[in-house]
Chain A
Amino acid sequence: MSAGSSAEIGASLRREDYAGVVSRLVAVAIDVVALTVAAAAAAALVLGGAEVVLGDTPGWLVAVTSFVLALLPTFYFALGWWILGQTAGGLVMGIAVRRVGGRPLHFPRALLRAILGLAFFVLWLIGMALAFVDQRRRGLLDVVTGTEVVYVPERGAQQ
């Protein structure tokens, strides 16, 4: 997709149709809460279940569980953006991630966005200030990965 066509598609939306900083931060906060609860429940279920069934928690199980839980946020965001364009927080807040121009994300781009966002969380947070001055309310991560965050069609004033 060329930059010109993307600009044409993007030009069909007003600035207010793109998700702002507050909505995105609230969505991320919801995601963090959901991930924390899910990770705690999964860890309690696996490790506690092993403790009950086996009488002890094997070291390899702890390692595997830790590994899976460490990867959980990455795949949570990547799969959410790839399949739905939304995570749980995005569903609640009514915002979705898409490529510049309006097409949905492919898995590699979604995975890259998730890895960069989680690895450079502070930078992502600081780069969010770019949304204040960007016409499409894009943050630094959006500019790097070629994405944008919009309100879902039901909420946006898409024409």
Chain B
Amino acid sequence: MYAGGSARDAVTVIRALRLPLGMAILLAERVRADFATDRGPEGTLGAAEGAQVGALQGASVPALEGGPALEGAPVEALEGTPVGAPLGAPVGGPVGASEGGPVAAPVLGVAAAYAIGLADTTLSTSGRIARSAVAAAQRPARVGTGVLQTVLEQPGVARATAPARRATSAMADWSAATVARGRAVAAEARMDAVTYLRLESASGLAWVRGEVMPTMIGDLVADPKVRQLAMEGAHGAINDVALEVRRRSARADTSLEAGVRRLLGRDRRELAP
């Protein structure tokens, strides 16, 4: 896994592994919580749930945050799990820790946390070792590569290795051609798939338009409820328009008459019979 990259890559890979590890932990906790909730109503399994969560949380969170393995992980989280606590008890609470009740669940939690911590420590140590190994091997590898290149460039060696190089070159060409062919086949397959999907969707849409939509429209048109709804909607819209026209025309009547009166210089009182 670390062979092709530098020491920094190795560390990156190790850190990247922690995320799926944390996700797996959370998933396991969720499943266990659901399982415990579905089971006995007495609260003992709920206590186990709390114990497990506390144990795993106390163990895994510092490790996931990039800390040095289990260094600094709260021991209380691993030891003081709420064994036998009622359902819904505070996570990681030490009250009533060992006063009877099922012990298997916290033991499992501690074991799981220990395993995870061990794995985290292993990964971190492996990363440091890999980083050191890669750093130590870089210079000899460069030197070795230079020496090998010099040897291969000698005329005798070149003649001796010519068939092998030709074979290697032919193999490389064949590989390149195979890759190109594979890419072409993949592209063609992709195009075929896209074309197939487009054709299928087009035919499906045509079928919907030709067969389904007319039937649906016919059903809707023939449905008395839909007709009534449409009629009511149209009637309401026409009424609204008519009402607005009436209001505006009535205002225009008043405005126009007022303008005419001002133009004629007549007071309204003079118009009274």
B273 near A22 (CB under 8 angstroms)? no
A23 near B242 (CB under 8 angstroms)? no
Q: Once bound together, how far apart are the Cα atoms of A19 and B252, in whole Å?
A: 11
B interface bracket (residues with beta carbon within 8 Å of A)? 10 to 19
B residues 240-273 with Cβ under 8 Å of A? 242, 245-246, 249-250, 252-254, 256-257, 260-261, 264, 266, 271-273
A85 at interface, CB cutoff 8 A: no
A residues 44-80 with Cβ under 8 Å of B? none
> Taking A133-B271, A135-B271, A135-B272 as contacts, is the C-beta distance between A20 and B253 under 8 angstroms?
yes
Contact of A22 among B253, B261, B264, B271 (CB under 8 A): B253
CB neighbours of B250 from chain A (8 A): 16, 20, 23, 151, 155
A26 at interface, CB cutoff 8 A: yes
Contact of B249 among A26, A133, A135, A137 (CB under 8 A): A26
A21 at interface, CB cutoff 8 A: yes
A22 near B256 (CB under 8 angstroms)? yes
CB neighbours of B249 from chain A (8 A): 20, 22-23, 26, 93
A23 near B253 (CB under 8 angstroms)? yes
A21 near B245 (CB under 8 angstroms)? no
CB neighbours of A155 from chain B (8 A): 246, 250
CB neighbours of B252 from chain A (8 A): 20, 22-23
| Cβ-closest chain B residue relative to A20 | B253
| Cβ-closest chain B residue relative to A7 | B273
CB neighbours of A93 from chain B (8 A): 242, 245-246, 249
CB neighbours of A94 from chain B (8 A): 242, 246
A132 at interface, CB cutoff 8 A: yes
CB neighbours of A19 from chain B (8 A): 253
**Contact digits for A110-137, partner B, Cβ 8 Å, 1 yes 0 no:** 0000000000000000000000111101
Across chains A and B, the number of contacting residue pairs, with CB separation under 8 Å, is: 49
B246 near A23 (CB under 8 angstroms)? yes
Contact of B257 among A92, A132, A151 (CB under 8 A): A132
B273 near A135 (CB under 8 angstroms)? yes
Contact of B245 among A92, A133, A135, A151 (CB under 8 A): A92
Q: Once bound together, how far apart are the Cα atoms of A16 and B254, in whole Å?
A: 8
B271 near A134 (CB under 8 angstroms)? yes
CB neighbours of B246 from chain A (8 A): 23, 93-94, 155
For A, the interface residue count at a CB cutoff of 8 angstroms equals 18
CB neighbours of B257 from chain A (8 A): 20-21, 132
> Taking A93-B249, A94-B246 as contacts, is the C-beta distance between A20 and B254 under 8 angstroms?
yes
> Taking A132-B261, A135-B272 as contacts, is the C-beta distance between A26 and B256 under 8 angstroms?
no
CB neighbours of A22 from chain B (8 A): 249, 252-253, 256
Q: Once bound together, how far apart are the Cα atoms of A33 and B249, in whole Å?
A: 18
Q: Once bound together, how far apart are the Cα atoms of A133 and B257, in whole Å?
A: 8
Q: Once bound together, how far apart are the Cα atoms of A93 and B256, in whole Å?
A: 17
| Cβ-closest chain A residue relative to B260 | A132
B245 near A20 (CB under 8 angstroms)? no
Q: Once bound together, how far apart are the Cα atoms of A133 and B264, in whole Å?
A: 10
CB neighbours of A133 from chain B (8 A): 260, 264, 266, 271
Q: For residue A4, give the distance in angstroms from its CB to the closest CB of chain B.
A: 12
| Cβ-closest chain A residue relative to B242 | A92
CB neighbours of B266 from chain A (8 A): 133
Q: For residue A118, give the distance in angstroms from its CB to the closest CB of chain B.
A: 23
Q: For residue B109, give the distance in angstroms from its CB to the closest CB of chain A.
A: 79
Q: Once bound together, how far apart are the Cα atoms of A99 and B250, in whole Å?
A: 21
Q: For residue B200, give the distance in angstroms from its CB to the closest CB of chain A.
A: 47
CB neighbours of A23 from chain B (8 A): 246, 249-250, 252-253
Q: When A and B form their complex, which 9 residue pairs have the shortest distance between CB atoms, in order from nearest?
A: A20-B253, A22-B252, A23-B249, A132-B260, A94-B246, A22-B249, A22-B253, A92-B242, A135-B273
A-B contact pairs, 8 of them (CB 8 A): A16-B254, A20-B250, A20-B256, A22-B256, A23-B249, A93-B245, A94-B246, A155-B246
